[in-house]
A and B are shown apart, each in its own frame.
Chain A
Amino acid sequence: MDDFLAEVKWDKLIEATQESIYMTTISVLATFILGMILGLLLFLTNKGSLWQNRPVNFVIAAFVNIFRSIPFIILIVLLIPFTKALVGSMLGANAALPALIIGAAPFYARMVEIALREIDKGVIEAAQSMGANHFQIIFKVLIPESLPALISGLTVTAISLVSFTAMAGVIGAGGLGHFAYLEGFQRNRPMVTLVATIAILILVFIIQLIGDYFTKRTDKR
């Protein structure tokens, strides 16, 4: 066992974990913001909603559906020119970010839309009857009333982002996926792959725990 573990380069593992955490954190934050905007727009421009607008709704829905349907590994490849123009390189953690965000934001946008649809229409109407403007309805009714669903949706999205980072790692973005592939698989050291997997699992469990905690705390229903 010790022999096997000796194969693992711990400093490299820690570095890879840090890269994974970095990619996940930044992409979760960006996905949250972009997904919220897209999700809110999807909801608000829908039929019967505050900003009912069929063309805008159609365009956003098309964008969301297309990017949600492309397999992530293909999306990375498709976005190479875009990423090169934006980041200047295809290597390193930052180069993974555009694909991660563009891959996850539409997914989260749909979850945001579903969460918003769950809100009782009567509550929105009550706010309108009190003279609330649209800004107040969004920030005082829509977001607070759907918060538990928004958080649990973000948890699910964050966990898929962890696996996305691992995939991005294989084509050179760094992180635990890269580590497992290069140090473990290619050098035929299964123990390294196993340790990297455990590190990813721990990361996922921590995200799930944090997500569950906040979902529960915000849910007063």
Chain B
Amino acid sequence: MITIKNVTKTYAAKQGAVKAVDNVNIDINDGEIFGVIGYSGAGKSTLIRMLNGLEIPTDGSIKVAGREISHIKGANLRKARQEISMIFQHFNLLWSRTVIDNIAFPLEIAGVPKKKRMQRVKELISLVGLDGRENAYPSQLSGGQKQRVGIARALANNPKVLLCDEATSALDPQTTDSILELLVDINKRLGLTIVLITHEMHVIRKICHRVAVMEGGNIVETGPVLQVFKNPKQQITKKFVQQVTEPEETKDTIEHLLSGYPNGQVIQLTFVGDGAEQPLITNLIRQFPLTVNILQGKISQTQNGSYGTLFIHLDGEEKDIQKALEYISSQEVGVEVISNG
């Protein structure tokens, strides 16, 4: 659906040329939810804006839905943009128009006759769950409702691709989740390809199939979300993964635990996919003469399976502990010894 090939974007700045995007290559499949994560200034915003021609790459080519976006202009570009919708962090609704008229706006642009327009708007309003708010102005809506209008507006012309530019960054966690669920629902129901950029790993974890990690204009790591969670290679990726797998206070807690359990070992277990659903601890206690103490744990759901971390404390004979660790490893569960008591 989308092919990004050797794309570079350079800006002229006072201190010389700045490379916002540096030789990026990505292939995004039909019907996929693809996430790009990075801190601000990583170039992800520039990258997504090149997908609908709001920015023109300095070098390389971008193909979206069979069209060479990076090289078309004028009416052709405008036509192509009707198939590549975008939703925004700050919603960018027209405050002078009601919900209905905001959603009808892209249809007006596309020249859809009024009767058809109103019919389509009605469908969209129930699709995004805004029934009863049809005649409200944006100023009368909550953030989540505004983004629903944004999504309905983006879907109006039956696009093939939906670009999400930090679409949930201005929303509270609960509203974020409801918007993400809506996006997954749309992706499944309409088979829409979704590309999103974010700085929140939570968003990637929750809805993306694949993820690319961006730093300094480069894609430093890419792969299926679960795999990246399981085996993050770059330092920056590890940091992002920690955002969701470890509560902020984990480090302090572990240090506290280490001093609290001078004997035995504190172990971090990492469960991925099916591994997360086995009765591992039960088996451990039954098979080895060990004391098992559960310290802290968390399981996160991703689009391709679950991912979890568990901190346990094992106490007993040294050789039994070693055997237990071997057993755990054989169960496709990641093991990391935190301390050696």
Contacts and interface: CB of A to CB of B under 8 A. Distances in A.
B183 to A, nearest CB: 17
Contact of B95 (A132, A133, A221): A221
Contacts of B82: 130-131
Nearest to A128: B54
Interface string B46-75: 000000101000000000000000000001
A125 B88 CA distance: 10
Interface string B122-157: 000000000000000111000000000000010001
Contacts of B138: 220
A25 interface: no
B234 to A, nearest CB: 31
B96 A147 contact: yes
A144 interface: yes
B209 interface: no
A131 B81 contact: yes
A220 B85 contact: no
A125 B92 CA distance: 8
Contact of B85 (A128, A129, A218): A129
A191 B76 CA distance: 70
Interface string A113-150: 00000001011011111111100100011001101000
Contacts of A131: 77-82, 106, 109-110
A130 B92 contact: no
A136 B110 CA distance: 11
A123 B92 contact: yes
B93 interface: yes
Contacts, number: 67
B22 to A, nearest CB: 24
Nearest to B97: A144
B117 to A, nearest CB: 14
B95 A145 contact: yes
A132 B156 CA distance: 14
B90 interface: yes
Contacts of B332: none
A52 to B, nearest CB: 15
Contact of A126 (B88, B95, B108): B88
B109 A144 contact: no
Contacts of A132: 78, 109
A220 B110 CA distance: 25
Give the secondary structure class of B's interface: mixed
B94 interface: yes
A129 B137 contact: no
Interface residues of B, number: 30
Contact of B108 (A129, A140, A145, A221): A140
A217 to B, nearest CB: 11
B54 A129 contact: yes
Contacts of B109: 127, 130-132, 136, 140
A123 B105 contact: no
Contacts of B184: none
Interface string B166-196: 0000000000000000000000000000000
Contacts of B137: 220
Given A130-B85, A220-B139, A141 B94 contact: yes
Contacts of A127: 105, 109
From A126, A133, A144, A145, name the one whose CB has the most chain B CB atoms within 10 angstroms: A126
A192 to B, nearest CB: 47
B86 interface: yes
Interface in A77-126: 120, 122-123, 125-126
Contacts of A141: 94
B267 to A, nearest CB: 49
Given A131-B110, A140-B108, A123 B79 contact: no
A145 B96 CA distance: 6
A158 B138 CA distance: 31
Contacts of A144: 94, 96-97
Nearest to B159: A130
Nearest to B138: A220
From B88, B109, B138, name the one whose CB has the most chain A CB atoms within 10 angstroms: B109
Nearest to B84: A129
A105 B165 CA distance: 40
Interface string A26-54: 00000000000000000000000000000
A144 B86 CA distance: 22
Interface of B: 52, 54, 75, 77-82, 84-86, 88, 90, 92-97, 105-106, 108-110, 137-139, 153, 157
